[in-house]
Amino acid sequence: MAKHDYPYRKSINITAWILQILVCIVLLAASAWLLWFVEQQDLDTILGDYNGLFTASAGLQIAITGLNIVIDIIEIILISKKRMPPELFLASACIKTAIWGIIFTLDVIAQSVLSCILTIILLVTSLIQLVHAAIIVHRKRRGTLRGGNYAPAVNPQGLEEGVHAQPVPGYYYPPPTNTEYKSPAPSPPPPQQYGYPAGDAYAPQVPAGSFELDSRARNV
């Protein structure tokens, strides 16, 4: 599995995970206690036809809070191991935001103040993670995100304008090529080749751009 070392902000995720897990544990314990209370007490005369609906809603809340805790644990493991793709992180944040948005709406309709306070914490933290994940995915698609085995390319326009880009890890920079013009003609041999010492005024002068053949200088 490829590594995805993306800039997931700890200040956002750790705060969201702690609040979500704590609130989910409170809701999970409250729902379990309500189910136990209904089993121990005969509330058919009080709840009437709503007894089954009350039990089903408590069981559904247990399942939803348990699902949120499982999603948080998966996020913690994958991000800590650098195995979390941004698309998966965005999908998990969307699921949590949608779930707690629906439950918060139902709690507002039911005018349950305590449930509204707890679910709004879950909704806000999920929404913050959703925005954070959306920003990461957007930057990844635009190619401006560092991490995840991705290295941005050098800006050709900046190079043309004389602005040298900083080296980026993982990007191959070819060595600079020498554009100095060199003549294909061989360079004249030094005077020592003719048996004359260097600087001798009587040494034969070979014109530039010529070569020696049979002790005679010939032009190229």
Q: Token match 């920003």: residue?
A: 135
pLDDT greater than 80 at residue 54: no
Query: Bigger pLDDT: 61 or 160?
Result: 61
Cβ(35)–Cβ(59) below 8 Å = yes
The whole-angstrom separation of Cα 82 and Cα 211 is: 66
pLDDT in tens, 2-17: 666 677 888 899 999 9
Mean predicted confidence (pLDDT) in 26-38? 85
Nearest Cα residue to 93 out of 77, 72, 121: 72
Q: Are 136 and 7 spatial neighbours (Cβ–Cβ below 8 Å)?
A: yes
Instruction: Please name every residue paired with 73 in a beta bridge, in sequence order, or none if there are none.
Output: none
Output 100 or 196, whichever has higher pLDDT.
100
With the C-alpha atoms ordered 200, 201, 203, 206, is the resulting torsion angle positive or negative? positive
Distance CA 66, CA 58 (A): 12
Quickly state the pLDDT bin for 35 (edges 50, 70, 90).
confident
Q: What is the mean pLDDT of residues 52-65?
A: 83
Over residues 41-56, mean pLDDT: 64
pTM (2 d.p.): 0.60
- Residues 149, 7: contact at Cβ < 8 Å? no
pLDDT > 80? residue 51: no
Model pLDDT for residues 108-156, shown as the tens digit of each residue: 988 788 889 999 999 999 999 999 999 989 888 887 766 544 444 445 4
Helix (H, G, I), strand (E, B) or coil at 218: strand
Report the candidate in 125, 132, 33, 38 with the shortest Cα–Cα distance to residue 84.
Answer: 132
Percentage above 70 pLDDT, the chain: 57
